[in-house]
Amino acid sequence: MGLTLLAVVAAVLTCSLEAVPPYRAGEPVPVRFRLRNRGRLPFAVLNWNTPLEGLLADTFAIRRAGGARLPWNGPTIKRGDPEAEEYVTVAAGGDVTADVDLALGYDIRAAGRYSIGLRLRLHDVAAPGAEIPRPRSRHASRSLDCGRLEIVVR
């Protein structure tokens, strides 16, 4: 029995977060997102609700030390079916990165220590040769855990 697309994706696509300091109170709070393809084939990934499209959804779990999760203050977007330009190709053995300013959607104005996590849901992952865009009813989604990052805002 062959591997399903989702099993292959789980084996080869990984994500991570990296700090982009310095962090100063009241200024932008950039973090770098990296989506890596450790496989031998390229994949097309729909950028919806990922840092690859910017900060347009409550996808991060951010907590100030000793506090509750920060609420989302950014936009809420309703979507239809995707367009082809909303897919990003992750080359075989390659990666794609995006820097996002977390202060655009979360209140990170106060100095302190923050914990940042990202549990990413890739809404659609397409193998080479698959027709994109495709309607939402045909999406092959996959969740990835990008880990946690600790930053200090001074």
Percent of the chain beyond pLDDT 70? 94
At 2 the pLDDT is 46
pLDDT tens for 108-154 read 999 999 999 998 999 999 999 999 999 999 999 999 999 999 999 99
| Residues contacting residue 109 through CB under 8 Å, at least 6 positions apart | 25, 26, 103
Query: pTM for this one?
Result: 0.92
Query: CA distances (Å), 121 to each of 66, 73, 109, 146, 152, in order?
Result: 27, 20, 27, 10, 27
| Contact of 56 with 74, CB cutoff 8 Å | yes
